[in-house]
């Protein structure tokens, strides 16, 4: 049985945070980059179904299905045009939050980093932050506790400061935090990215229950499930259906509410060169150890869905379907070497997405929105089908 944390920022930490925020507030505010100044206001309200899109830059966002998107996690360079377009479509835009865990073990350093992110979000008129650390942490180490506190304190400060609070003393801030805890309107969003299942996947021994309780929701990266291959060194699916389901069952068994879980699906696959191709679906790959496992998906590079769809017609096998892993793959040969490509397509994604309704999850998202072909007219149906697969119900 998990116990939810009750820790809140104490007076010294709050005083330090307020001093930093006050100094930042005294500087000139950024000019709104949108034609309509109202589009620079943080969005409010809740969406009945969350669709979180990670965007890594460029202009692909102009072709997204904006009727489905609710949040953009901006992992590329700041783009005010994207921000204005998103807000015009009632879509939040959030920062990428990434910091070495060793740098936030000291409480003062941790608070200073959070304040830097809040001030950056304000200058860029953003709606929150997506914490994407993905660093190995030993169970109950200094980093383990510091990471939990980072999420807790980031959520408190972001919820208070976006939009900016007029509170100027400890009592007023505590009153606001109590209001947030009672479920009153929260503007900004703080989310945290986690591995496909809890425990110590890839060495990430986090306090998942406490982290999920602290932030608005956790984004479950239901992919890269072959980062540690403990059996034979055989190419496998990036996100097998049964492993995906097992991951969510494990999170729910920790006592994490289903409303705190957003499913992440991959819009990419892995291209494995085969040392031997025994038969289709049995591609022996190079043994590249990772965190104690003898083999891993490091044996093959990640490839975007748009490349996969271009390569599939050139394959020697055509599309195969693996009934055990519920995933497609194909085989091609180049310079005398066989390659086996495992990926996700509308069929496999819609099967996993159907779990959202079954398990009553909060929503879905993908890594990443830039991996489809938005340019070639012949790929238009493929691209549309991938967006539609997010809504199989």
E strands of 133-188, at which residues? none
Give the Cα separation of 345 and 330 in Å (integer): 12
CB-count burial class (<10 Å; 0-12, 13-18, 19+) for 359: middle
The pair of three-digit structure tokens given for residue 191, joined into one six-digit string: 């989310």
The helix (run of H) or strand (run of E) holding residue 190 is strand 189-194
Quick check: 71 and 51 in contact, CB under 8 A? yes
Give the Cα separation of 148 and 133 in Å (integer): 12
The helix (run of H) or strand (run of E) holding residue 72 is strand 71-74
Helix axes of 346-359 and 241-253: crossing angle, nearest 10 degrees: 20
The pair of three-digit structure tokens given for residue 115, joined into one six-digit string: 């304040």
CA dihedral defined by 219, 203, 371, 44, rounded to 10 degrees? 20
Q: Residue 81 catalytic? A: no
CA dihedral defined by 217, 220, 221, 224, rounded to 10 degrees? 160
Q: In angstroms, what CA-CA distances link 66 with 112, 179, 218?
A: 35, 32, 22
Q: Annotated catalytic residue: which of 134, 184, 326, 340? A: 134
> Can the peptide bond before residue 368 be classed as cis, meaning omega within 30 degrees of 0?
yes
Give the Cα separation of 22 and 29 in Å (integer): 13
Q: Could you give the residue numbers annotated as active site?
A: 134
């Amino acid at each position: 049985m998990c116990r939810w944390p009750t820790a809140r920022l104490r007076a010294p930490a709050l005083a330090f945070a307020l001093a930093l925020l006050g100094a930042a507030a005294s500087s000139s505010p950024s000019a709104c980059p949108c034609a309509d100044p109202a589009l620079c206001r943080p969005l409010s309200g809740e969406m009945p179904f969350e669709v979180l899109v990670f965007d890594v830059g460029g202009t692909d966002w102009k072709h997204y299905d904006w009727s489905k998107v609710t949040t953009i996690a901006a992992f590329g360079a700041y783009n005010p045009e994207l921000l204005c377009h998103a807000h015009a479509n009632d879509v939040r835009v959030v920062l990428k939050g990434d910091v070495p865990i060793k740098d936030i073990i000291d409480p003062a350093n941790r608070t200073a980093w959070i304040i830097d992110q809040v001030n950056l979000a304000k200058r860029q008129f953003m709606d929150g932050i997506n914490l994407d650390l993905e660093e190995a942490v030993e169970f109950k180490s200094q980093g383990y506790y510091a990471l939990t506190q980072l999420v807790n304190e980031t959520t408190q400060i972001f919820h208070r400061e976006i939009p900016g609070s007029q509170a100027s003393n400890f009592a007023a801030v505590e009153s606001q935090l109590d209001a947030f805890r009672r479920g009153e309107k929260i503007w900004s969003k703080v989310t945290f990215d986690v591995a496909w299942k809890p425990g110590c996947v890839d060495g990430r021994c986090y306090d998942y229950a406490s982290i999920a309780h602290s932030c608005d929701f956790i984004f479950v990266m239901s992919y890269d499930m072959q980062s540690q291959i403990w059996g034979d060194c055989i190419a496998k699916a990036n996100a097998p259906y049964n492993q995906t389901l097992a991951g969510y069952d494990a999170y729910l068994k920790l006592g994490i509410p289903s409303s705190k879980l957003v499913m992440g699906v991959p819009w990419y696959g892995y291209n494995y060169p085969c040392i031997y191709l025994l038969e289709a679906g049995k591609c022996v790959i190079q043994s590249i150890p990772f965190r104690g496992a003898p083999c891993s998906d490091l044996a093959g590079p990640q490839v975007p869905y748009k490349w996969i769809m271009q390569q599939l017609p050139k394959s020697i096998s055509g599309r195969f379907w693996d009934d055990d892993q519920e995933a497609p793959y194909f085989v091609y040969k180049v310079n005398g070497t066989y390659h086996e490509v495992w990926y996700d397509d509308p069929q496999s994604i819609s099967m996993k997405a159907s779990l959202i309704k079954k398990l009553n999850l909060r929503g879905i998202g993908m890594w990443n929105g830039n991996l489809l072909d938005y340019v070639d007219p012949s790929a238009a149906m493929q691209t549309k089908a991938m967006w539609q697969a997010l809504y199989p119900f």
